[in-house]
Amino acid sequence: MNVDERLLADCHRLGTLERATVLLHRNAAVGWLILVPDTGAEDWHELDDAEYERVNAQIRALCGWGADWFEADKMNVATLGNQVAQMHVHIIARHRDDACWPAPVWGQLPESDAGYDDATVAGLRAALARDLRLAASEQDA
Amino acid sequence: MNVDERLLADCHRLGTLERATVLLHRNAAVGWLILVPDTGAEDWHELDDAEYERVNAQIRALCGWGADWFEADKMNVATLGNQVAQMHVHIIARHRDDACWPAPVWGQLPESDAGYDDATVAGLRAALARDLRLAASEQDA
């Protein structure tokens, strides 16, 4: 599936779930997963029944997984799409001592030089493959 | 059901859906509904199966309804809860010429004196009662 270049520029591509791509935002100040469903819908209510069920199940799984992996105090889940219209769901692990708590991350999270090293990204991929059957995508980077 | 006082302070109470309260944010710069499910869960993955199905169906209905009613260019749907832990879902109608487009609203929407007049709130309630079977709550205000 095609993923908008602006999302890819900000993220590591972790792999794929059924008809969806999973990304990891490069800003490691928060644990920030992005689910990109393979759909032409841009808004929630435009998803058809099968899409709605599938996307919600994936959100639920990623939210629970992210809460554990990042030892989150709170999960933030959001679809905005004001800048990149392609539907994508932010699933963000927040901590009471993170860089912009309690504000939302968008536009308020300082740019961070602290990115993920290759081993950390590989570890995330392996754990998601084990726990949620994330499949490798050819373009992992 | 009890709704956190901080949410009530910011919102008009529109009415109730099954095991949920629907609010309207007083800042009329954007069309901003808030769904407050009657649940002890604070995060998505903590909802049980029945709650997850019910809350998602309500989000879907409110998102489609709000897109029509407010003639939205884009719907923003989010659960954050960093400041008010009680689970609540923001369902926000955005326009390309609204006060903080394309930024998210939280922390970036100017305070507005332009609130809703009583007739507008009553019209919203009546339309939601007709379209989504919103019920009156005794504490409507």
Question: In chain A, where do the E strands start and end?
Answer: 11-17, 20-25, 31-37, 74-79, 89-94
CATH superfamily of B5-102+113-132: HIT-like (3.30.428.10)
CA nearest to B78 within chain A: A78
Contact A82 B59 (CB under 8 A): no
pLDDT at B76: 98
Single out the residue of B58, B71, B47 nearest to residue B23, CA to CA: B58
Above 80 in pLDDT, residue B114? Answer: no
CA distance to partner chain B, nearest, from residue A79 (Å) = 5
pLDDT at site A114: 76
Q: What is the mean pLDDT of residues A10-30?
A: 96
* Residue B112 predicted with pLDDT over 90: no
Å between A2 CA and nearest CA of chain B: 21
pLDDT for B93 equals 98
Question: pLDDT digit string (tens) for A32-74?
Answer: 999 999 999 999 999 999 999 999 999 999 999 999 999 999 9
Enclosing H/E stretch for B75:
strand B74-79
Q: Which residues have a Cβ under 8 Å from the Cβ of B53 and sit 6 or more positions away?
A: none
Q: Can you give the length of chain A in residues?
A: 141
Q: Is the pTM of this model over 0.90?
A: yes
- What is the residue extent of each domain of chain A? 5-132
How far is the alpha carbon of B134 from chain A, nearest alpha carbon, in Å?
18
**Listed residue (A91, A53, A115) closest to B45, CA to CA:** A91
Q: Which amino acid is at A140?
A: D
Average pLDDT, chain B: 95
* Nearest-by-Cβ selection for B43 from A42, A67, A80: A67
Residues contacting B33, CB < 8 A, separation 6+: B14, B22, B23, B24, B25, B62, B66, B90, B91, B92
The residue-averaged pLDDT of A2-29 equals: 96
Q: What percent of chain B has pLDDT over 70?
A: 96
Confidence (pLDDT) at B66:
98
The answer to whether residues A43 and B63 touch, using CB atoms and an 8 Å cutoff, is yes
Q: Do B82 and A67 make contact, defined as CB atoms within 8 angstroms?
A: no
Q: Cis (ω within 30 of 0) for the bond into B102?
A: yes
Residue A94 has its nearest CB partner, among B45, B78, B82, at: B82
* pLDDT, tens only, A77-112: 999 999 999 999 999 999 999 999 999 999 888 887
**Does residue A26 contact residue A10 with C-beta atoms inside 8 Å?**
yes
Which of B33, B57, B5 has the alpha carbon at shortest distance from B121?
B33
pLDDT of residue A83: 96
What is the CATH architecture assignment of A5-132?
2-Layer Sandwich (3.30)
Per-residue model confidence as pLDDT tens digits over B52-97: 999 999 999 999 999 999 999 999 999 999 999 999 999 999 999 9
Cis omega (within 30 of 0) for bond into B37: no
Determine the pLDDT at residue B55: 98
Residue A5, pLDDT > 60, answer yes
The 3-state DSSP class for residue B54 equals helix
Confidence class of residue B139 from pLDDT cuts 50, 70 and 90? low
Is A137 touching B (CB cutoff 8 A)? no
Can you read off the two tokens belonging to residue B107?
């922390």
A81 contacts B64? CB cut-off 8 A: no
Closest CA to B74 of A25, A37, A44: A44
Reading across the β-sheet that carries B31-37, which strands appear in turn? Answer: A11-17, A20-25, A31-37, A89-94, A74-79, B74-79, B89-94, B31-37, B20-25, B11-17
pLDDT of residue B113: 67
E strand or H helix that includes residue B67 = helix B49-69
